[in-house]
Amino acid sequence: MLLSRYAKRLPRRKEDPMKIPMKARSIGKIVEEQIQKWNVTRRKKEIDESVYPVVTISREPGSGGRIIAESLAEKFNLDLFNQGMIHRMAESTKVSKQVLETLDEKGLNVLDNWIASLVDSKHLWPDQYLKHLMKVVLTIGKHGRAVIVGRGANFILTPESRFRVRVIATIETRIGNISRDYDVSAEKAKRRMIKTESDRRAFIRKYFNSDIGESVNYDLVINTDAVSVGNAVEAIGSAAGLKPV
């Protein structure tokens, strides 16, 4: 698929979510609203984890993974947790504690047992950040009906609670998209792409002893040079067993 055709499908990206300050709402406020939503959902008994696994989206820089995640969440009415939000939740001890308090004792025990198993099987050496990250992501997994972008969520969630997606594209496509989104030259876009990709690979290698690009770590790999955003959303929804509500 030609770059020009692909570029027309994606809106211009004006800001990097990892570098956007929480202007209108603090991360604490956002989490409070999410917890309220979980409480309402629980009371209505709308959660069905067997039917609605959490979709994790790992993406190559400039491949369009962000817009696919947003479109997927909108179509299937799923909670969207982007990389920046997950990162801030894991950084804050207070916020991590708030999130954990949404689980009952049984849920907490299951979470702790899975973390212990994960640490042992993957030979991990979790620091405070990784401990918080795993607990936050696993709590989201227990509530279900969500899309998580980045932060190694596909390596954290239990097999029965996840559907793992990797979004890729050719280097030429990715450079073109980054150049357009950030209004920079192709050379600057290439440098940005290489640095972002290097940082993500290093993060996964450091915390999970894994290769972010290894296809065995995903249930579905989507090449946006050949698949449109709309078709990607349909494919993920069908493969993960999602249904619009």
pLDDT tens sequence across 107-129 = 777 777 888 887 777 777 778 88
Average pLDDT score, the chain? 80
Identify the helix (H) or strand (E) that includes residue 58: strand 54-59
> What is the token pair recorded at 186?
């192709």
- Mean pLDDT across 83-105: 74
At residue 49, the pLDDT reads 46
> Cα(113)–Cα(97) distance, rounded to whole angstroms?
18
- For the segment 212-231, what is each residue's pLDDT rounded down to a tens digit? 989 999 999 999 999 999 99
* HEC string for 138-182: HHHHHHCCEEEECCCHHHHCCHHHEEEEEEECCHHHHHHHHHHHH
Q: What's the full length of the chain, in residues? A: 245
CA distances (Å), origin 123, targets 82, 90, 151, 158, 208: 27, 21, 18, 17, 8
- Mean pLDDT across 43-57: 65
Q: CB–CB of 37/210 below 8 Å?
A: no
**Domains of the chain, each with CATH number or no CATH:** 26-240 (3.40.50.300)
